[in-house]
Amino acid sequence: MSSGTIQEHQIEIRVRYSETDAMGFVHHGNYATYFEMGRTELLREQGGNYRQMEESGLLFVVAKLSTHYIVPLQYDDLLVLTTRVKKIGMAKLEHEYEIHRDGQLLTRAETVLACVDRNGKIQRIPENIAGSR
């Protein structure tokens, strides 16, 4: 990504009832979906498109996910998810995430994505995504 490329993006997420557990808190499995939404919209804002990348035979797979749950998310919360590009390597892409509600930090997370082909073999991240590392 060149120096003019967007390195951070925010989206709003409204917690749906189906995303919560019996205690009314967001089930931990849904956080990964939120982070994927953030990455997808960040890439879209940068002019990229996951679908086109997949059609060309390249995929980003989650190699690592680390989440720090600070305050539980609850049904009907209006959240702001900030997604940032942390680092771009030859074949991996690292992101940082923060989830806020009314300005309060609720969750921090990081992912490491690996660029692979359909056979799972590591591939170089395309230039239109990587730009100047």
Domain with 18 in it: what CATH number? 3.10.129.10
> What is the pLDDT at residue 131?
61
Domain that holds residue 82: 8-128
- Measured CA to CA in angstroms, residue 118 lies from 30, 39, 51, 75, 127 at distances of 26, 20, 14, 37, 19
133 in a domain, yes or no? Answer: no
Pull the structure tokens for residue 92: 């991996």
The number of distinct structural domains making up the chain is 1
CA angle 73, 78, 37 (to 5 degrees): 80
Q: Round to whole Å and give the CA distance between 45 and 47.
A: 5
101 in a domain, yes or no? Answer: yes
> What is the pLDDT at residue 50?
87
Q: Round to whole Å and give the CA distance between 63 and 60.
A: 9
1 in a domain, yes or no? Answer: no
Q: Round to whole Å and give the CA distance between 66 and 111.
A: 6
2 in a domain, yes or no? Answer: no
For 94, the enclosing helix (H) or strand (E) is strand 92-101
> What is the pLDDT at residue 31?
98
> What is the pLDDT at residue 6?
73
> What is the pLDDT at residue 126?
85
> What is the pLDDT at residue 39?
95
- Low-confidence residues of the chain, pLDDT below 50? 1-3, 132-133
> What is the pLDDT at residue 86?
96
